[in-house]
Amino acid sequence: MKIGVDVMGGDYAPDVVIEGAVDSLQHLVARDEIFLIGDANLIHNMLTGLNIPDGRFTIVPTTQVISMGDVPAKAFAQKPDSSIAVGYRMLKEKEIDGFCSAGNTGAMLVGVSYTVNVIPGVLRPALATIVPALDNHNSVILDVGLNPECKPDVLMQYGILGSIFARYILEAENPTVKLLNIGEEASKGTATVKAAYELMNNHPAINFIGNIEGNGLFMNNMPDVIVCDGFVGNVILKQTEAFYHIIKARNLKDPFFDNLDFEGIGGTPVIGINANVVIGHGVSKRKAIMNMILQTWAVVHANLAQKIKEAI
């Protein structure tokens, strides 16, 4: 398996990206290849400082960087030798099987439309992430930030995309799906959510079991898939991060709360595109980068993009 890593992306790049890539080696086998994409001299010098032979990685030299403050579309077009642009080009030409970055999220999403594109039939791709529960059951929630506004048919299709993710990543045999709403009753919610309820309830490819309220998240007996628009999903994602930091600041100890740490997940896959792409948090440090790479490995290993193509 060949995984491309944007060494120049993220608030603490390149140091933590290279360190995280080194840490990921202990979880991979010798035939798994990591391509470090970025400033070649900088990468070589740091690997030397860490006593890691260059041969354990493939260094892909680039001369440009898309910074966190760059305008995504403009930067992607004007910086063709940036680590993000080169990574996507390698992905399109099948030189790598998956690509991950903690860099400019907008540029990562622009890169999709410039290179690998959305799977035909997918209305809108989504960002998906894991939600842990008290009973140690993991669920997937989507969208968590890609599409702030969604029409009913998009939410319905998220149920399908999420089910595929749950089946092949979470190993759920017949994934259950719920729609995030302000009440469990079918009559609750906005016109969009109520229409999505009807569509999902009547779709043969979705094991739809109704609505879930916000106070049902992280609790026992969660569904395998939770569907919402990107606005709501991103609020939940960021609030979860806030609670984790509050718990740490209050010096509260409980193993469950460690599951709320985004560093343990590493990144969010872009679901519904013709390739395997994982986007990490901009503030990712060493542990998060390692898990972003391992998340990319899991998505590639599950052949998720191909599974979605077949289903759609």
pLDDT score, position 263 = 86
Matching fold, domains 1-122+272-312 and 123-262? yes
Question: Residue 40 half-sphere exposure, CB side, CA atoms within 13 Å?
Answer: 7
> pTM for the complete prediction?
0.89
Segments making up each domain of the chain, as ranges: 1-122+272-312, 123-262
pLDDT score, position 53 = 78
Strand (E) or helix (H) holding 278 = strand 276-280
| One-letter identity of residue 89 | R
Mean pLDDT by 10 residues, the chain (312 residues): 96 95 92 95 92 87 94 93 97 96 92 93 93 93 93 97 93 96 94 97 95 96 97 94 92 89 88 94 93 94 88 80
Q: What is the topology classification, in CATH, of domain 1-122+272-312?
A: Isopropylmalate Dehydrogenase (3.40.718)
123-262 maps to CATH 3.40.50.970: no
Task: Specify whether the CB–CB gap between 115 and 146 falls below 8 A.
Answer: no
